[in-house]
Amino acid sequence: MPKTTSSGEVPAKTTRSTRNRPTDDELLDAALSVIADVGAQRATMDMIAERGGTSRVTLYAHFGSRDSLVEAVIDRELTALTEWMFAAYDKGETMAYGDRARYSVQALFEFARSQPRGFRVLLTNRDEDHDPGRRLFAALEPRIAERLRGNYAEQGDTVGAGADTLASMLLGMSLDVAYRAVIVSGAGIDAACDLAVTASLAVLRSVEVRQLHAIDESLDV
C-alpha cells in the first residue's frame, strides 16, 4: 500500500532526469578531442570531463577507468578506418589494377581529411600496451595481400608470403607519408596523397614476381 502525506495525498514519484545525460559516443568524442591534442599518455579524466562538459564520476560510471576509456576511443576510430578502407577495397574490385591501387591510397588520405582527429590518434599513439598502428596493419595488410595474390593469379603466378611482404611495404609507405607529411609537418593532404600514390605505383611497376617468389622460396630452405 503506497504511503500518504499528512493530508492523505500520495506523493508524486520522483524519477532521475536523463535530459542532459551524455551518451557513450558524446563522451568518446570528448576523449578523442583531448587525446588528439595531448596524446593518450597525457590525457586525464579531468581534461576529458572538462572538454565534454561532464564529470569524472560520469566518465568512470560509463567506462570504468581511464585506460578503458582510451582503449574505447582507439577501438572506435580503428573500426571506423578499417570499415572505410574495406569499403574502398570493395568498390575498387572492378577497377583496373593501377586505378585500384590509386583509389585505395586516395581513400586513406580522404579518411585523414574527413576524420583528422581519429587519424591522428591512430598514427601518433604508439606504446607497448595498445599500438593502434600495429593493429591497423593487422586489419588491413591481409586484405591488401589477398588482392595482390589475386592479381598475380590472373597473370598465372602463385605468390605466397611475398604478397604479405609487398602488402606491408605498400601500406607502410602510405601511412608513413601521412604521418610525416600531414601530422608531423602539417603538409597539405592532397600533396601528401599525390606523393604516396606515385610511390605506390612505382613500387608495383618495379617489383618483379621473381623477387616475390624468391621470398617464398627462401622460407622453404
pLDDT above 70 for 87: yes
C-alpha torsion sign, points 120, 122, 128, 129: positive
> Domain extents for the chain?
75-219
Location of C-alpha cell 567506462: 63
What's the Cα-to-Cα distance from 104 to each of 52, 182, 208, rounded to whole Å? 34, 18, 21
Higher pLDDT, 20 or 136: 136
Which residues in 207-217 are b (16+ Cβ under 10 Å) and which e? beeeebbebbe
pLDDT tens, position by position, 38-86: 999 999 999 999 999 999 999 999 999 999 999 999 999 999 999 999 9
When pLDDT is cut at 50, 70 and 90, the band that residue 128 belongs to is very low
Fold of 75-219: Tetracycline Repressor; domain 2 (1.10.357)
Higher pLDDT, 141 or 16: 141
Instruction: Supply the pLDDT for residue 14.
Output: 43
Our measurement of the distance from residue 208's CA atom to the centroid of its chain's CA atoms, rounded to an integer in Å, reads: 31
